[in-house]
């Protein structure tokens, strides 16, 4: 993942580390596998980012629902039996202004109390700034074309955390 999408990288890295299956994290989990069907990807997205998703009030607008694993992967929550995004880990990007400078950070319910998201969740979703979400999605599309990834081909996602 490109460093210019720092909040999306932080989100994916956090999910890869906190989910017991460590999806897409080389050396810890299993690779993701390409989902080439647009119809299946749409179904995946429609489940994880269903009507229960509400953009966090402090996520810079426009905010979008960002799902992990990617909707265009065989490891999407829907493909593992998730019926609604409420069953996924929940995250949000927040914006704070300090001395006139805007800072973004990643949070989740319970983060202020030192609580971690449920490790047994099969997916995650985040309230993410549109530019971050669509930038990573665009990079994924270019990556699949450049690498000629076909249906079910495996791949890893480097979100910047060190290999074990």
Q: What is the pLDDT of residues 79-119, one digit of tens each?
A: 999 999 999 999 999 988 899 998 899 999 999 999 999 99
- What's the whole-model pTM score? 0.92
| Helix, strand, coil tally for the chain in percent (to 5) | 30, 20, 50
- Helix or strand run (H / E) with residue 12: helix 6-18
Report the distance separating Cα 23 and Cα 16, nearest Å: 6
The neighbouring-strand residues paired with 102 are 97
CA dist 46 and 48 (Å) reads 6
CA 125/CA 88 separation, integer angstroms = 6
């Amino acid at each position: 993942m490109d460093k210019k999408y720092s909040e999306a990288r932080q989100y994916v890295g956090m999910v890869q580390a906190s989910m017991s299956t460590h999806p897409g994290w080389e050396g810890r989990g299993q690779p993701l596998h390409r989902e080439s069907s647009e119809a299946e990807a749409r179904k995946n997205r429609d489940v994880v980012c269903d009507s229960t998703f509400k953009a966090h009030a402090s996520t810079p607008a426009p905010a979008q629902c960002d799902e992990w694993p990617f909707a265009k992967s065989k490891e999407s929550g829907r493909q593992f039996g998730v019926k609604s995004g409420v069953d996924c880990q929940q995250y949000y990007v927040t914006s704070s202004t300090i001395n006139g400078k805007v800072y973004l950070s990643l949070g989740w319910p319970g983060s202020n109390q030192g609580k971690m998201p449920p490790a047994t969740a099969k997916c995650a979703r985040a309230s993410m700034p549109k530019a971050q979400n669509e930038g990573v999605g665009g990079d994924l599309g270019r990556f699949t074309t450049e690498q000629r990834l076909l249906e079910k081909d495996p791949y890893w996602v480097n979100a910047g955390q060190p290999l074990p």
